[in-house]
Amino acid sequence: MEILVTGGAGYIGSHTCLELMENGYDVVVVDDLRNSDLEALRRVEALSGKALAFYNFDVCDQDRLDKVFGAHAINSVIHFAGLKAVGESVGMPLAYYANNLGSTLALAGCMKRHHVRNFIFSSSATVYAQDNRMPLAEGDALGCTNPYGWTKLMCEQILRDLCVAEPVFSVVLLRYFNPIGAHPSGRIGEDPAGIPNNLLPYITQTALGRHARLTVHGNDYDTPDGTGVRDYIHVVDLARGHLKALEYAKRNRGCEAINLGTGRGYSVLEILRAFETVNQVKVPYTIGPRRPGDLAAVYADPQKAGELLGWQAELGIEDMCRDAWNWQRNNPRGYRT
């Protein structure tokens, strides 16, 4: 059974491809490598001992997508391809809307033409409105503050409407919280271009000595130690969640939004301490001002994933910190090492 994985060379996509291949699925990847490296897929093949089919083109290209659907017996689609930097999206909204909506529309149209019904979509906790109480449950108010977030919310709406019009479709909107960590082999992991915005890659690069220190964005939040609290989830747990979502989509029709988080929040200082302790390395830091747009605390209610998918996160913060460092240490320049 072939699964089409768009954006399969990226951070979450590569881990999911590996999990799929290790569980007997045949994988077809479409990725134009705009934010990734083919080396990730070579390593996925080496780790799994299996080959995958790879196509290098833009998922917005319907004609080329049609040919891929014609050439493979695709049963389900996992759509990771997209632009994902919140700050960048504010400066280039049109590129974000064109790519994230365009790729989703192209794929959904192609699936309809080729009678492929199961669609797993990469959504984000960023679709929740800012004034919700924690933990965030799927029925909570939605709303965004930046173009990236809106692209995710708009894609959710497009796919919900599709399921109303075409009741044979089965769509799972997976709302990820904060994916971190890497495969325990240290062979695949997060490889951000340029200076990272996200906490964990900044920590691992600082531990390597590439940055003098981490700036903690604010310590005057209404949280136990004043620093921001997030629901960090191991990327391998997240990848496994996609396999559970695939199984669910095959058994059910309609559209479901489901959180993938642990339900437990950690502060920036807790992460720093855990990282230093488990890896026995020092990460110098300084306290800076709050980062505009940040919330004090964001964490999931993961109950629905447990009930519908039979999934819950199994790996803890020590695993996440150890595996993130194992990847970075072994690949100081990412896939270009």
Residues whose CB is less than 8 angstroms from the CB of residue 38 and which lie 6 or more positions away in sequence, other chains included: 9, 54, 56
Compute the distance between CA of residue 320 and CA of residue 267 in angstroms, rounded to an integer.
Answer: 14
Please confirm, yes or no, whether 335 is among the known catalytic residues: no
- Length of the chain, in residues: 337
List the single partner that 7 binds among ligand NAD, ligand WQD, none, CB under 5 to 8 Å by kind. ligand NAD
Considering the rule CB under 6 A, would residue 100 count as an interface residue with ligand WQD? no
Closest approach of ligand WQD to the CB of residue 253, in Å: 27
Considering the rule CB under 6 A, would residue 324 count as an interface residue with ligand WQD? no
**The token pair that represents 335 in the structure block:** 């896939």
**The token pair that represents 203 in the structure block:** 């920590």
- To 10 degrees, the CA torsion angle through 270, 318, 242, 27? 130
Count other Cβ atoms within 10 Å, centred on residue 125: 20
Enter the DSSP assignment of 220.
-
> Among the options 25, 96, 128, 148, which is catalytic?
148
Residues 254, 167 contacting (CB under 8 angstroms): yes
Determine the longest span between alpha carbons in the chain, in angstroms: 56
List the single partner that 230 binds among ligand WQD, ligand NAD, none, CB under 5 to 8 Å by kind. ligand WQD
Considering the rule CB under 6 A, would residue 86 count as an interface residue with ligand WQD? yes
Piece in contact with ligand WQD (CB under 6 A), picked from 133-141, 157-165, 209-217, 273-281: 209-217
Considering the rule CB under 6 A, would residue 214 count as an interface residue with ligand WQD? yes
**The token pair that represents 178 in the structure block:** 């904060």
Considering the rule CB under 6 A, would residue 291 count as an interface residue with ligand WQD? yes
Residues 262, 231 contacting (CB under 8 angstroms): yes
Compute the distance between CA of residue 176 and CA of residue 168 in angstroms, rounded to an integer.
Answer: 25
Considering the rule CB under 6 A, would residue 317 count as an interface residue with ligand WQD? no
Closest approach of ligand WQD to the CB of residue 251, in Å: 27
* Residue from 56, 197, 277, 330 in contact with ligand WQD (CB under 6 A): 197
List the single partner that 245 binds among ligand WQD, ligand NAD, none, CB under 5 to 8 Å by kind. none
Chain residues binding ligand WQD by CB under 6 A are: 84, 86, 124, 126, 178, 197-199, 202, 214-217, 228, 230, 268, 291, 294
Catalytic residues: 148
